[in-house]
Structure 1
Amino acid sequence: MKKKILAALLAGAMTVTLGACGGNTDSGNDTGTANDNTQGTTDTANVSGDAIRFMNTKIEIDGALKEFAKQYQEETGQEVVVESLGGGVDVNGQLKNYYAAGNMPDIFGFAADSYKSSFKDWLEPLDGESWIEDTDYAFKGEDGKVYGMPFALEGIGIAYNKDILDKAGIDPLTLTNINAYKDAFEKIDGMKDELGITSVCAVAAESGQMYWSTGNHMMAAYISQGKDRADKDIIDKLNAGGIDKDRMGQFADWLQLLFDYSDQNVLISGTYDDQLALWATGKAAFITQGNWIDPSLPTYEADFTCGIAPAAFTTEDTEGIIVDAPAVWGIYNESDKIDACKKFLKALAESEEGQKALVEDCGMVSPYKSCTLEPSTPLAKSMLPYIKDGKTYAWDWLTQPEGIAQNATGAVFELYAKGQLDKQGFVDTMESVIKDYVATNGSN
C-alpha cells in the first residue's frame, strides 16, 4: 500500500514538472546560462569561406570572445566568427539542425552529458595538443582520446555570506561535516533578528523550474562529495539503475537539514530568482548554488564577503567542493580548418591574451595550471584554494542518464521538501525512479 501511495504522489509531481517545462529538452547542465533568456546571433550569411565558425554556448561571454577573436585576426590574419546561443535555445537541437543542413560550425561547445547521446561521432581527437599537459580537466571520450578543451571551471557546494557567519562567530572552514552544519544552522537560526535575516538557508525545490538545481547540482553531492576523482562507483551504479542506499540515507538527512532551515515559501514554490534574491539581499546566510551566480550579484548590490563551502553531508569530514569544467570546446572532424581551429584554441588556452580574455574579461576560473591570473568575482575567487590544494571532486552528475533530473529525480526532491515523503520514502522512491528511468531510457 505504501508503495502505491508513493507512486501516486510521484506521478502527480511529475505531471506538474513536465507541464511546467513545456517539453524543453535542455537538461539544465549549462549552469552559466540555465536562467539566461538572452539569445545571441546565429546568422551565418556573411561568414567568409576562410573564417572559422565558433559556436559558443555561454551567452554571457559573447562580447569577450568576440573581442579576443578580433585581436587574434589582427595578429594572425585568421578570421574567427563567434556565434553565441543563449539559455532560451536548445543547443543540442541547434547543432543537430546544423548537421542535418550540412552547416556545422568548425568549433562548438558541448557538455559531457551530450557527448555520447549526440556528438561522439562528430569530434576531432585533440591528443598531442600542448595544453593537455597543463590541465586536469581535458575531456576524454570512451576510447581514452581527448576530444574537448576546457575553458572554465565551476564549483558546486554551499555558498555563504561571510559577513553573517562572522557576526555569528562561525568559521566557514569548520563546515566540513553535517554535524558542523547542524550546529551552525541552529546558532544562526537563534540569532535571526540580531543578524537581520529571515532564514538560515535559501533553497528552492519546486521541480517544474528547479529540477536542474536539485536533480543535478544538489544531487552532485550524493554522487561525488568526498570521492576521489577517479572513483566512479556511485555514478556507475546510478547509470546501471541502482543507488547506494546507505549513502542516499545520509544525503536525505542533509536535505532535511537544509529544508528545515529554509524559507518555506521559497523552498516549495520559489523560482531561481526568488532563491537568489533572498540570499543576495542578505536575508539568508546560505544558498544552494555555485559560482555561476557571481555575475548576478551586482544586480542586487550585494557587497558582502562570500565564499563556497563543501556540501559536506556525511558525519565524516569532506573538505573539498565539487569542481569541474561544465562544458568544453571541440572541433568538428569534417571541418576543412582543423589545424587553424587547433591553433585558435591553443591561443585561448596558452597565450597571455587568451588567458586574460577567459579569466579577466569573461570572469572565469582557469583550468590551466600555468595561468597566474585570478578572477575578481567573489565566489569564483573562493574556489581557488580548493583547486590549488587538490581538494575537489568531479562533476560526475554530468554523466547521469540524459533528462533524469527533469523527468524523474527532480520530482522526488519536491515531494521530500513538501513533507510528502519521509526519509525512508525519499530513499525508496529515489531508488525506484532511477531504476525505472534507466530501464526505460538507458544511460548515456
Structure 2
Amino acid sequence: MGLKKILSLVTVTMLVASSVVGCSSSGGDASKDAKGDQVKVDIFQFKVEAKDALEKAAEVYEEKNPNVDINIETVGGGNDYGAALRSKFQSGQEPTIFNVGGPQDVKDWDGKLENLKDEPWVKEAFDGTLGSVTTDDGIFGMPFNQEGYGFIYNKEIFKKAGIDPATITSYDALQKAVETLDSKKGDLGLDSVFAVPGKEKWVTGLHLLNTALANEFESGKQAYEAKELGFKYNKELKDLLDLQVKYAFKPDGKNGSINSVDYAMQIEQKYSTGKVAMVQMGNWAYGGIEGVNKDIAANSGILPMPVKGVKEDCIPVGVPMYWSINKNKDDAEKKAAKDFLNWLYTSDEGKKMIIEDFKFIPAFKGYESDTLQPKDPLSADVLKYANEGKTMPWVFMGYPSGWGENVVGADIQKYIDGSMSWDDLVKNAQKTWAEERK
C-alpha cells in the first residue's frame, strides 16, 4: 500500500538523529486492531529535511504491515509549527503522532501526551536526551536525533585565503579570520563573508540567543523553571551578531535588507554556490547544500560559536524535537504508532535508514558499528565536538512559549534595521520573560 502524499511543506529549520537498539519490532500483526481492520496513523511533523526519508520509511513499514495506513503532513522552517499544530487540534483533525520540543511543550500539551515510559527504546536513550520530556508522571517524547550547529564554512575558500580552521578556537580568532576573508573576497569570488537569514526568527531568537543563555542556564529544564532572565552574556551575544551583520550579504546594500534573507537564500543561493564563506546553521543543512553543489557539501565543516570570554571553542548540541503520541486516540492507533517508531529506530532496517536516508546523528545506543556512523562531514564534525566535550546545551526549548522567536527574534530584526537599540532589546527580553513566568 502506498504512502499518502504529504499535504503541506515549507522551508526549513532546525535539527537530526536518533536511533536505538534492543527489542526490535518486526512491525507485524502488532499493528492490527482487534478486528484486523485498517489502522490509520496520521503524522504531523516539523522536519522538512526529513520529509522524503520519512515517506520512504512509512512506505517500507506499510509493505510489512498492510493493515496500517500512514498519512504524513509536514510543516516547518518558514512556518510556525507550534501554531500549525494548535490549529490542527482546534480543527478536530488531531494527529496520532506529532512533535514537542521540551518542558514548555510538555506543559502546554498536558492531557494530550501518551506516557512512553514503558517503550523498549527508553533504556537505549543516551543520558540527558530524555530530561526535557520527563516529569514525575512519566516520559512523554522520543528523541528525533541529536543535532549541532555553529558556523558552517567552505574549506576550499578558507584554504585559498590561507586560513587554518583549526586555529579558530576563540572569538578573537574568528574575527581575525572574518576580516581576512573580507579583505580577499574579490579574489575569492565572494559576495560577502556571511549570509545571515534575518527573516528566519528561529535562527536568531532560538539558536543564536541560545549561545548566551546556554551559559546562563545548565539545561532547558532549568531555563523553564527560571522566573527571571539575567541575560548576563548579552554583550557577548551582541558581538557575535554584530560580526555577522557587519560582514553579511545585503541584498540592497542596507542592514535592513538582511531581514529579507530567508533560509533558502542563505543556504541554497549563497553558501551552496560559493558566494559566501560561512553561515550560522547546523548539520541538518547538509542535504540542502548537497542538492545544489556536491563538491561544496563534501568540503564543508563546522566552526565554533564563541561566546567571548565564556565558552569559545564549543558548539551547541542537543535534541531538536521529540516524537509524541496522542493519548486520546484509540488503542489500535496508538499501538501502531508506537510500533512504527520503535521499528524505525531499533530494527536493523530502520537504523540503516536513520543513518543513510535521514542522515541523523543517533540519540540512542546501538549505532556503534562502522556502517552506522554519520556519512556527511557536518554530522561527523558535530560528533567530534561531542566526543571531545566541546559542547554547550540547547536550552531554547525551555524558553516561554513563543518568546524566543516572537519577542527576541522580532526584536533582533528591529535591532538589525536600526529601529531598536540593543539596551532596549535586552530590557524587553527580561521584562517579557518575567511576565510569562508569573
TM-score, with normalisation over the residues of structure 1? 0.77
* Alignment partner, residue 143 of structure 1: 136
Q: How has the CA–CA distance of structure 1 residues 166 and 267 changed in structure 2, closer, same or farther, with 3 Å as cutoff?
A: farther
Once residues 320 and 380 of structure 1 are traced to their aligned partners in structure 2, the CA distance between those partners, rounded to angstroms, is 15
Match of 2:313 among 314, 319, 340: 319
1:199-243 CA distances to partner (integer Å, 9 max, x unpaired)? 2222243xxx33222111211111126x7855866x358x53422
- SS of the aligned residue for 2:200 comes to helix
Shift in CA distance, 286/332, structure 1 to aligned 2, threshold 3 Å: same
**Cα deviation, residue 250, structure 1:** 1.8
Pairing of 1:95-134 with structure 2 (within 5 A)? 95-96=85-86, 99=89, 103-112=93-102, 115-116=105-106, 118-134=108-124
1:437 maps to which of 412, 429, 432: 432
Output aligned runs, 1:393-432, within 5 Å: 393-418=392-417, 425-426=421-422, 428-432=423-427
Are residues 413 and 113 of structure 1, via their aligned partners in 2, closer, same or farther at CA, if it must alter by over 3 Å?
farther
Q: Match for residue 331 of structure 1?
A: 325
Q: Please say which of residues 195-204 and 80-89 is displaced more in the overlay.
A: 80-89
Q: Does structure 2 conserve the Cα–Cα contact (< 8 Å) formed by 1:55 and 1:83? A: yes
Match of 1:16 in 2: none
Structure 2 distance, partners of 1:436, 1:162, is: 42
Preserved contact between residue 68 and residue 336 of structure 2 (Cα < 8 Å):
no
Is 2:235 the partner of 1:249?
yes
Where does the alignment leave 5 or more consecutive residues of structure 1 unmatched? 1-27, 34-47
Q: Are 1:162 and 2:155 counterparts?
A: yes
CA distance, structure 2, for counterparts of residue 248 and residue 90 of structure 1: 26
Which has the higher mean CA deviation after the structures are superposed, 353-362 or 137-146? 137-146
Instruction: Tell me whether 1:360 sits opposite 2:343 in the alignment.
Output: no
* Cα distance between partner residues in 1 of 2:109 and 2:418: 40
1:16-95 matched pairs, under 5 angstroms: 30-31=13-14, 49-75=38-64, 79-87=68-76, 91-93=81-83, 95=85
C-alpha distance in 2, partners of 1:82/1:193? 50
2:254, 2:113 → 1: CA distance?
42
Tell me by how many angstroms 1:81 deviates: 0.9
Count of residues in Structure 1 that have an aligned counterpart in Structure 2: 392
1:309 equivalent in alignment to 2:303 = yes
Identical columns (%)? 28
Aligned residue number for residue 5 of structure 2: none
Alpha-carbon distance between aligned partners in 2 of 1:188 and 1:90, rounded to the nearest angstrom: 35
User: Deviation per CA, 1:26-51, whole angstroms, max 9, x where unpaired?
Assistant: xx995369xxxxxxxxxxxxxx6534
C-alpha root-mean-square deviation of aligned residues, in Å?
3.2
2:171 to 147, 172, 178: 178
1:126 to 1:374, Cα distance in 2 relative to 1, 3 A: same
Could you tell me how far apart the structure 2 residues matched to 1:231 and 1:74 are?
39
Give distance in 2, aligned partners of 1:80 and 1:318.
Answer: 48
> What is residue 379 of structure 2 aligned with on the other side?
380
Instruction: Give deviations 1:370-425, integer Å, cap 9, x for gaps.
Output: 2142344442333221233343322211221222234321243234334566xxx4
Q: How far apart are the structure 2 equivalents of 1:172 and 1:144? A: 46
Q: Is the 1:204–1:266 contact (alpha carbons within 8 Å) kept by the matching residues of 2?
A: no
Q: Which stretch of structure 1 is more off in the superposition, 187-196 or 160-169?
A: 187-196
Is the counterpart of residue 349 in structure 1 residue 345 in structure 2?
A: yes
1:267 Cα deviation from its structure 2 partner: 4.9
Structure 2: distance between partners of 1:267 and 1:380 = 32
Q: In structure 2, list runs of 5 or more residues that go unmatched.
A: 1-10, 17-36
Which amino acid in structure 1 is aligned with residue 430 of structure 2? K
